Chain A
Amino acid sequence: MTRWGMAIDLDRCTGCEACVVACAAENNIQTVGEEQAREGRAMHWLRIERYYEGEFPNVRTRFMPVLCQQCGAAPCEPVCPVYATYRNPEGLNAMVYSRCIGTRFCANNCPYTVRVFNWFDAEFPAPLDSQLNPDVSVRPGGVMEKCTFCVQRIQAGKDEAAQEEREVADGEIKTACQQSCPTKAIAFGDLEDPDSEVSRWAESPRAFSLLGDLDTRPGVVYLSGTEWREPAE
């Protein structure tokens, strides 16, 4: 059985945000504009959190890409009254947009605050409409969404392998963020396969889970060479 997972090497991340842009383009994420973004309504499924250490001028910035952790024990799932979010057999926290009624309970219960909500109907004025990804549905207003691990790419990769009557090879399926990362800080693959790149990364002594003591069993593993400290308030 497959358990899709991701490993992110924070020591390699430069905070360039190419992954954020790639994700938005791949997944038809609506652009809300300056005013809405200021109100905390930016829709990015993936964000680069910046934390500063030290006192000016001796400041060091740490970058941390945060996306849906695809938890093995996801707090978002049991609270949804309509099963709009559920755990699929391959370890993804799947979203059923057509089922979502917009209680936003899942988002409140997400310890990582990675869920985003369509406050209004999405608008893609020309020529933006011609760059929409045909493999991804455009979500209506009033619906919750979040990172899917590029489930459309996973599906395409599986279909292709099935047609050629073989298993999906490690590294064959790439998420948009992984593909666009200039420093190759992201690995994606099957965590159940001990030889996959993501499994090898996850075995690293530098590996940790974000907010690991909540025991949400995330499918995303972070790697950091130096001890991770809470940002100073």
Chain B
Amino acid sequence: MTDRPQASARALDGELLGRLDRRRSGLLVGSLASGVLVLVFFYCWGYQIANGIGVTGINRPVFWGFYIINFVFWIGISHAGTLISAILRVTKAEWRRPVTRSAEAITLFALAIGGLFPLIHLGRVAIFYYMIPYPNSRMLWPNFRSPLVWDIAAITTYIIGSALYLFLPLIPDAAVMRDRAAAGLKKRFYAVLALGWRGTAQQWHSLEWGIRILAVAIIPVAVSVHTIVSWDFAMTQTPGWKSTIFGPYFVVGAIFSGIAVLMIAMALLRRGLALDRFLTDRVFNNLGLLFVTMSLVWGYFTFAEHLTVWYSGDLFEKNVHHVLLHGDFAVPFWTMVVVNLVIPVAVLSFPRGRRPLPTALVGCGVLVGMWLERFLIVVPALSTPRLAYSIGDYLPSWVELGIMIGAIGVFACLYFTFTQLLPIVSVWEMREGWRHAAGGGESGQPSGAAPASPAAASPVAGGGAA
């Protein structure tokens, strides 16, 4: 071992954590500001529980509204992290290193919020647990034929998997934080998170394998989650919903909106933490290419979906199709097409468009577009039932709007708090990347949390205990 990589590793350590430290006051302001929205969220939900679900704008025939739209939207956002970071890990993409942690955190928090929406949506939330298969004296079980029960199974699996997937790579960093913290509550907090991490070869070996297994296992889980969310719609008889394309269509849409969030998060990270060295222009170029590909795939699916409906000539399907393309929902529909397909293709097809700022702006547009897509799936199909006498209308109430905006605040608050407490950039993975970039097999060991991963490209196995 030479001194140089060790010093570099230490320097990187301090550099990264120092940058995170300097942003702390800004983060605190962010947490407090989003905290106000958290209060809005809980006030609105409390108001709804106290007064009844009727304080929303939903009615007959539009029995599902903003809550289900936001449920699908947030579950889609959750694909930013685990799925994309897992694919990047499995393919050993070097530029994943500064991205994975923030992406995985997006997943966990977006899922937590997405998972709340079906509960907010319930008429009697106090007995939501009737949907959970728990042993009870009356021998009553949930109805396993219902896609909602599949949903619970899928989302619970995904939340547990994502939490583990966020937590495992966090252990060595928690150990670094523990070693840096002065004795006290803070140290104890990090000590609990670090699970007694000492950076032994054995521990690195176990960690590496744990992450590998999870990265592979989480991919089918992520695909299944959004497929099952689509089945909440596709398994019904409702015109506009019963479609075999919905499973893959939803997965593609989720990855698409996931990349949109990732583009925004990466642009912010690069700017906020001055990570130009890691989040290079090439990274944005590559991710931009993936982004425009997803946009085209999404556009193709949308086209295929609507062409078959139109061609079928089915009266009831055509009614829904008509309000969507030419009727009451034409403005949101064509807005969606513009921000999800026209703008991304127009901007991202050119190398100059695949730079941080334009990709982030396109990402913002895609987020709006993908929200509109979910709106256009839920509402027009319900407001255009088969029996024309029941044709209806839907406008959200202030409670629904409050909960929707409040949910964004909850997300921001969780994210800011996480960033304050733990490194949002995986320090040990950056160090590992640093070593790879230096071309050496040497391992720097500045603390108990040495990045001497045996399974990585490094030919030096283990690297020894601290």
Contacts and interface: CB of A to CB of B under 8 A. Distances in A.
Nearest to B319: A233
Given A78-B143, A79-B236, A113-B387, A40 B122 contact: no
A18 to B, nearest CB: 19
Contacts of B388: 51, 230-231, 233
B189 interface: no
Nearest to A64: B389
Which secondary structure dominates where chain A touches chain B?
loop
Interface residues of B, number: 47
A100 B123 contact: yes
B123 A142 contact: yes
Interface string A33-58: 00010011110000101110000000
Contacts of B237: 75, 109, 111, 214
Interface string B172-183: 000000000000
A80 B236 CA distance: 11
Nearest to A40: B59
Contacts of B59: 39-41, 119
B235 interface: yes
Interface string A66-88: 10000000010011111100000
Name the 6 nearest CB pairs between A and B, nearest first.
A102-B123, A142-B123, A119-B54, A40-B59, A49-B389, A104-B63
Nearest to B152: A81
Interface of A: 36, 39-42, 47, 49-51, 66, 75, 78-83, 99-105, 107-109, 111-113, 115-121, 140-144, 211, 214, 230-231, 233
B312 interface: no
B448 interface: no
A66 B123 contact: no
A116 B389 contact: no
A113 B315 CA distance: 17
A66 B146 contact: no
A141 B142 CA distance: 21
Contacts of A108: 63-64, 236, 238, 382
24 contacts: A39-B59, A40-B61, A78-B143, A79-B146, A81-B143, A82-B130, A83-B143, A99-B130, A100-B123, A101-B128, A105-B146, A105-B148, A108-B236, A108-B238, A109-B236, A113-B386, A115-B60, A116-B60, A119-B53, A119-B59, A120-B51, A142-B123, A142-B124, A211-B386
A47 B389 CA distance: 10
Contacts of A233: 388
B392 interface: yes
B140 A75 contact: no
A115 B60 CA distance: 8
A143 B60 contact: no
B349 to A, nearest CB: 40
B464 to A, nearest CB: 54
A117 B121 CA distance: 13
A229 B237 CA distance: 22
